[in-house]
Amino acid sequence: MMETQPQSIVLGGGCFWCLDAAYRLIRGVTSVTSGFAGGETPYPTYEAVVMGSTGHAEVVKVEFNFQEIVLETILDIFWTLHDPTTLNRQGHDMGSQYRSIILYNSEFQLKTVRHSIERAKKVWGDGIVTEVKALTDFYPADDYHQNFFANNPEKSYCQIIINPKLKYLREKFTSLLK
pLDDT digits (tens, 9 = 90+) for 117-159: 999 999 999 999 999 999 999 999 999 999 999 999 999 999 9
pLDDT digits (tens, 9 = 90+) for 32-66: 999 999 999 999 999 999 999 999 999 999 999 99
- Is 15 part of the annotated catalytic residue set? yes
Domains belonging to the chain, first-starting first, are 7-176 (3.30.1060.10)
The string of DSSP letters for the chain reads ----S-EEEEEEES-HHHHHHHHTTBTTEEEEEEEEESSS-SS--HHHHHTT-S--EEEEEEEE-TTTS-HHHHHHHHHHHS-TTSTTEETTEESGGG-EEEEE-SHHHHHHHHHHHHHHHHHHGGG---EEEE---EEEPPGGGTTHHHH-TTSHHIIIIIHHHHHHHHHHTGGGB-
Catalytic option among 15, 18, 21, 59: 15
- Whole-structure pTM over 0.75, yes or no? yes
